[in-house]
Structure 1
Amino acid sequence: MTHLDKANYLDNEKFIFCLEAVHDIEIATTTEVVKNLEQLAIEYGISSIYKTCDTIEGLEESLNALRYDDHNFKDYEIIYLVMEGEGNNICLNDYYYSLDEIAELFEGKLTGKILHFANTKILDLSEEEAQYFIDVTGARAVSGYGTAYNRLTSINLDKTFFSLCQDEDNVIEIVEELHQKQYALCKLLDFRLYY
């Protein structure tokens, strides 16, 4: 690869920003998520930034730092959230926050991004809830799973989804291709995408 090819390759590269909820950010541990992100880089060449948070303020701080301090923010197509919760909320240290509250925190700040939830939380939104979140934040889509983590992590399907997002901009085509490649997993985990 010549220097010029490498520069073009880097120009076309899109990143993933992963934020994992942990019980205490002071305790450093290498979670399964970190290992899977490393594999994503090796297998698909997809780079990511990984951070942990244990409060809603930590979540807000991390996303704001990414927006304002990282000049590559426009290249982060996917914000990958690994946290517990159900339906229309997330749980951070035993406190529940609705996606409406999250939307208000990030009003207009997620333009063009896909917010993707791992199956550590069930994502179940009404059409109105999904539309509100997208309208307020500017996100391109919200995706996740209708089936909760039950010894079957969504990471293999997440990796396929992320790789398809690298090559395709149309979310409908991404979902169709994901179902073609991983139909059984899509059905088993109940993959959902709101746009």
Structure 2
Amino acid sequence: MEYDKFIFSLEAVPDVENEHETETTKSLEQLAIQGIESIYQVCDTIESLEESLTALLYDDHNFTNYEIIYLVMKGEENNICLNNYYYSLEEIAELFEGKMRGKIIHFANSKPLDLTAEESQYFLDITGARAISGYGNYTSKVTSSNLDKVFFSLCQDEDDVVEIVETLHEKHYTICKLLDFRLYY
């Protein structure tokens, strides 16, 4: 089955010059078998993050089909870490001011996502994103990749983010609670 909603995945790595076979690439390959297409890119600086997303915005004619921007990056509650530099989500929001209209920005559990109502609303208002999601708990013992795949699949069939989250919790309650799945909209 071919889907018409795609995933743009951007993973932070120590050095973009080195080839990387990661859990993220394997997960995206599994989604491709299910018919969910994606683009995978890596970044190691804020400039390469900005270049990747700008290229997607302006050079990819299917940009409107990329419903999910999947960010696999380390960091803390309200920031990401690239090359040992921390950037707040407010800074990231300002980089992409108005350019994420209708998108779901999803963070893997390599960084906890813990935003206040004000912080999440600021991010959504500035970027134009439909929702921002991720996990409140980071644990090196369990990655979110399997739950991420389920979330992405649900996003293919349902447009209502509340319905998506309810279904995700109904089907995978234990792992949702363990990782503390969160969605701000």
Q: Which TM-score applies when normalising by structure 2?
A: 0.98
Out of 3, 10, 35, the position equivalent to 1:19 is 10
Q: CA-to-partner distance for each residue in 1:29-69, whole Å, 9 max, x for gaps?
A: 21111111101111x32111000000001001000000100
Look up the match of 1:131. 121
Conserved 8 A contact 1:84-1:91: yes
Shift of 1:150: 2.0
Give the distance between the partners of 1:173 and 1:136, measured in 2 at CA.
Answer: 24
Look up the match of 2:21. 30
SS at the partner of 2:26?
A: helix
Conserved 8 A contact 1:121-1:149: no
Out of 58, 69, 90, the position equivalent to 1:68 is 58
Number of aligned positions between the proteins: 185
Give the distance between the partners of 2:46 and 2:20, measured in 1 at CA.
Answer: 20
Shift of 1:106: 0.2
Gaps of 5+ in 1: 1-8
Out of 57, 60, 78, the position equivalent to 2:68 is 78
What do you get for the CA RMSD once the two structures are aligned?
Answer: 0.9
Shift of 1:149: 2.9
1:40 aligns with 2:27: no
Conserved 8 A contact 2:23-2:145: no
- What does 1:85-164 align with in structure 2 at a 5 Å threshold? 85-164=75-154
Query: Residue type of the partner of 1:45?
Result: G
Look up the match of 2:157. 167
Query: Residue type of the partner of 2:140?
Result: N
SS at the partner of 1:85?
A: strand
Look up the match of 1:56. 46
- Of all paired residues, the percent bearing the same amino acid is 71
Give the distance between the partners of 2:8 and 2:153, measured in 1 at CA.
Answer: 14
Look up the match of 1:189. 179
Give the distance between the partners of 2:49 and 2:20, measured in 1 at CA.
Answer: 18
Conserved 8 A contact 2:151-2:168: yes
Shift of 1:146: 0.6
Q: CA-to-partner distance for each residue in 1:134-171, whole Å, 9 max, x for gaps?
A: 00000000000011032201011100100000000000
Give the distance between the partners of 1:151 and 1:186, measured in 2 at CA.
Answer: 15
Conserved 8 A contact 1:19-1:80: yes
Give the distance between the partners of 1:101 and 1:183, measured in 2 at CA.
Answer: 33
Larger radius of gyration between Structure 1 and Structure 2: 1
Structure that is richer in helix per residue: 1
Give the distance between the partners of 2:125 and 2:158, measured in 1 at CA.
Answer: 22
